[in-house]
Amino acid sequence: MFSPSAIQRQRFQKVALIILFLLLSVALIITWNTPATGYEASIYRSTPLILWVSLIASVIVGIALVVVAIAKDELEQNFLWKIGFLLVFMCYTICLALFIIRGYYMWCMTGDPASHIGWIKETINAGHVPTSIIYPITHICLSELVFFTGLDLVILHKIVPLTFGLLCVLFMYVLAKALFANYGGALLAGVVSCCLTFGWYHNLTPNGLSNMLIPFALFLIIKFLQKREWAWAIPLSAIIILYPVFHVLPAIVLGLVLLTLWIPAKLTEAIQNLREKKVHILKYNSEDLRLAFPFLLLLSWFIFWISSFQVFGYTIKDIYDTVALEEKETKGAAFLDQISYAQNYGYSVIEQALKVYGVQALLVLLSLLALLLLWREFTARGQNKSLFSFYGPFFAISFMMGILFIFNLPFGPFRFMIYISMLGTLFAAYFLSYFLVDRRSGNNPLLQKTSLKAPCVTVVITLLFLASTLILYPSPYNLGTSYHTTQSEVMGMTFFYDHRDVNVPVTGITVAPGRFSHAFLTPEEQSVQRLPMYLEDRIVPWHFGYDRHHTLAAHYTDEMNLILTQRDRQIYLDIFPDMAKFRFTEQDFEQLDYDPGISFLYSNGDFDLQKVTTVVQGGLIE
């Protein structure tokens, strides 16, 4: 039976939940009715304040309900924690879908998603994937989805990553449930997974989508080890065959998991033998070698698949050039150059590192604290072996990230950070759940009080959510340029493709003509346009050259097409205001209107197309 105080507490919680759901509903309606009208440098600043207030309040209350229920061991008696978890998951969903709710037309058409959209269209039109694609699963599945649903890729390229992001929480939960002995720990893993700590949520890329499925692959591995049944061996084999064709990097991580899961248990056995002064070879049984066949299957299929593409040869050559010939700059050297470059312009590298990687640092700290607990429990009682085993992949991935700094491969070390975050989420959930339910702290009465432990855990998880939310979208806060692609920008680029003289080069600031051409032109049209992926060395001179000449045309010997977008105007106004005096100011853009060497061709508000001529008023520009 519930005491009167417990009944009053539940009544208060129900009223609070009702208010929060109503507030969240009103905030969503207001946000939906205030869509973006142009390019937005910061979605945080453009979104109505009421939505942020309702999200923060809902997250705090939802996390608190789950944490208190775990701390008081009321998961079976009190159902309100389920509503709290639903509230946290809703906030997670709203944050992921915010750019869709705000009416963003497309996302990141200056990056990889544009190329993948183009390859999907090519797959639909040709009936097969382009032969150069090393990871065709995404393009095949999306092509089939277009056929079956009739939905346009403009919609699907936003919906599909969102769906995978939602499924990732489910996969993390079932993985944690397979690993943890107590239900509260698995529940906390689900809550922490809603804290947006993984990144890679929004872009339609094979790497991003395959990352979201990694927890499911890990779940199959654990079930295969625990159940020893063909019912789990068959789906595990299927996922192993799938991943090299899905994307290379998650396949490498999956191989590391299969290769290193046995190390922590054997390492503790070796240390125990040394302590007891037992000198003998470690014993291996059939269970220890159970993952040998999945690993060999993955390795053989991975090598067979990737070696059939030219990129394999290029990668081997890059490794050889870096190690043996030292011809190429390493990722570490390039990273140090970026740090030095930023510091020279007055930016605090430490501040940005804390903003961008502070959440991962906290997860790593909690993981190391959990290691002490898991090591003690495994060596003393043999408990939590499955969870403890994941420290093998955890440290192997960390070591590989360090090694990648001395190479110059197509992928950098920070692309593996998401896997550290995923494994760190499991370890952090274990540590926090242990902290909540531990009843053996007899020497310290404070650590036995739920009124102290529950708020501490709530604060930590809320901090993870808030810090991750602030860097979920590129914005001035993390010095990132928003990937918002407006419909006006798309219309402007299609006009440019339809009307340009293909013999006239193009210049600009941030426009990516080659990326856009992948998304909106056929391969035949792309070969006619002959546009670079990015402008790179074709970017207009700083200040449009007005610090040296009275016209931009003085910098060119031939005609040029100049493309400027609203992004170009805002990047040094909102994101890098301190760099404006070195790059582009508002006055520089205003002076373009009076430049005698520039002719206006097209404008729609977010996109301007102009021609830079070399003849002004009948005379040559000198």
Q: Are residues 431 and 336 in the same domain?
A: yes
In a domain, 553, yes or no: yes
- What is the predicted pLDDT for the residue at 82? 94
Given 420, 437, 454, which residue is the final one in a domain? 437
Given 437, 472, 494, which residue is the final one in a domain? 437
Mean pLDDT of 428-440: 87
In a domain, 264, yes or no: yes
Note the pLDDT tens digit of each residue in 118-161: 999 999 999 999 988 999 999 999 999 999 999 999 999 999 99
Note the pLDDT tens digit of each residue in 467-483: 999 999 999 999 999 99
Domain of 593 in residue numbering reads as 486-620
Q: Are residues 287 and 390 in the same domain?
A: yes
- What is the predicted pLDDT for the residue at 488? 95
Return the closest-CA partner of residue 457 out of 68, 13, 194, 56: 68
Category of 326 on φ-ψ map: left (φ > 0), alpha (ψ -120 to 50) or beta: left
Note the pLDDT tens digit of each residue in 204-253: 999 999 999 999 999 999 999 988 888 999 999 999 999 999 999 999 99
Note the pLDDT tens digit of each residue in 83-101: 999 999 999 999 999 999 9
In a domain, 307, yes or no: yes
Q: Are residues 410 and 505 in the same domain?
A: no
Query: Residue 617: which pLDDT band, with cuts at 50, 70 and 90?
Result: very low
Q: Are residues 505 and 604 in the same domain?
A: yes
Note the pLDDT tens digit of each residue in 584-597: 999 999 999 999 99
Note the pLDDT tens digit of each residue in 235-244: 999 999 999 9
In a domain, 191, yes or no: yes
Quote the number of domains for the chain.
2
In a domain, 458, yes or no: no
User: Whole-number mean pLDDT of the chain?
Assistant: 90
Query: Residue 615: which pLDDT band, with cuts at 50, 70 and 90?
Result: low
Q: Are residues 402 and 503 in the same domain?
A: no
Q: Are residues 427 and 497 in the same domain?
A: no
- What is the predicted pLDDT for the residue at 330? 78
Residue 587: exposure state from Cβ atoms within 10 A (0-12, 13-18, ≥19)? exposed
Q: Is the pLDDT of residue 620 over 50?
A: no
The rounded distance, in Å, linking the Cα atoms of 552 and 74 is: 71
In a domain, 358, yes or no: yes
Helix (H) or strand (E) segment spanning residue 318: helix 310-320
Q: Are residues 176 and 245 in the same domain?
A: yes
- What is the predicted pLDDT for the residue at 605? 86
Query: Residue 1: which pLDDT band, with cuts at 50, 70 and 90?
Result: very low
Note the pLDDT tens digit of each residue in 373-410: 999 998 888 889 999 999 999 999 999 999 988 877 77
Q: Are residues 414 and 291 in the same domain?
A: yes
In a domain, 560, yes or no: yes
Note the pLDDT tens digit of each residue in 36-65: 999 999 999 999 999 999 999 999 999 999
Helices (H), 438-486: 450-470
Q: Is the pLDDT of residue 616 over 70?
A: no
Q: Are 54 and 24 in contact (CB under 8 A)?
A: yes
Q: How many other C-beta atoms lie within 10 A of the C-beta of residue 126?
A: 12
**Helices 80-96 and 153-179: crossing angle, nearest 10°?**
140
Q: Are residues 234 and 358 in the same domain?
A: yes
Q: Are residues 366 and 286 in the same domain?
A: yes
Q: Are residues 417 and 520 in the same domain?
A: no
Q: Is the pLDDT of residue 6 over 90?
A: no
- What is the predicted pLDDT for the residue at 326? 57
Percent of the chain whose predicted confidence (pLDDT) is above 90 = 71
Q: Are residues 534 and 598 in the same domain?
A: yes
Return the closest-CA partner of residue 43 out of 105, 114, 102, 129: 102
In a domain, 372, yes or no: yes
Given 377, 409, 437, which residue is the final one in a domain? 437
